[in-house]
Amino acid sequence: MIHRPLAAACAAFVLAVGAAAETKQMTSNQNQLSSDAGYCPPDDKKSACGLPSRVVIDMSKVTVKRTDAEWRARLTPEQYRVARQQGTEYPFRNAYWDNHADGVYFCVGCDTPLFDSRHKFESGTGWPSFWQPIERGFVGEEKDASHGMIRVETHCNVCGSHLGHVFDDGPRPTGLRYCINSASLKFMSRADYDQWVAKQSQPLAQK
């Protein structure tokens, strides 16, 4: 659970971006896996999050909706492949697996704050790992039975962008490991994040 000022700021932000995007329509090919999506085949249980997901996410429930052309314009090819086509990136060869800076990780698709560096830990998997999200309601979960295993896929509830998977082999206090693709995230330093929260907390007339 996050503090009330932050929760209110995040809620206001989500409503604002939702209102701006509510007239947009998603195209039918957004949930299709890329045929050339690269990933690292697992050689142990820890690398199970290195497989792409085939979960069908209900995009009708998300707040932020964009056309396929708009997603491609907003994201890099790698971000698009991972976040919109449910691919995955190589371990130890991504932006944030070894990032130790203090700050917050936002969704690359809609700028929603998802994970805090205070909840990040060294999992040894080669992907950024967290033992909880900032706000559980912002991270959706779906059962993923692809590739002959049962996993739990995670995605942004605001825009539907694929994030990664969550496992039950994490540290205390939750015992969870959110294994997240760096390509689905954007990092903001703590100082900049505090300013962002303050701005989102202001009445719309003052922004």
Domain boundaries, the chain: 4-22+61-206
pLDDT by 10-residue block (mean), the chain, 207 residues: 54 48 36 34 54 92 96 98 95 96 98 98 95 97 91 97 96 96 98 95 71
* Exposure string over 94-114, b if 16+ CB within 10 A, otherwise e: bebbeeeeebbbbbbbbbbbb
Neighbouring C-alpha atoms within 13 Å toward the C-beta of 121: 16
* Exposure string over 14-42, b if 16+ CB within 10 A, otherwise e: beebbeebeeeebeeebbeeeeeeebbeb
**Helix, strand, or coil here: 81?**
helix
At residue 16, the pLDDT reads 47
**What tokens were used for 71?**
């997603």
| pTM (two decimals) | 0.80
Would you name the residues annotated as active-site residues?
A: 179
At residue 147, the pLDDT reads 87
The CATH classification number of 4-22+61-206 equals 2.170.150.20
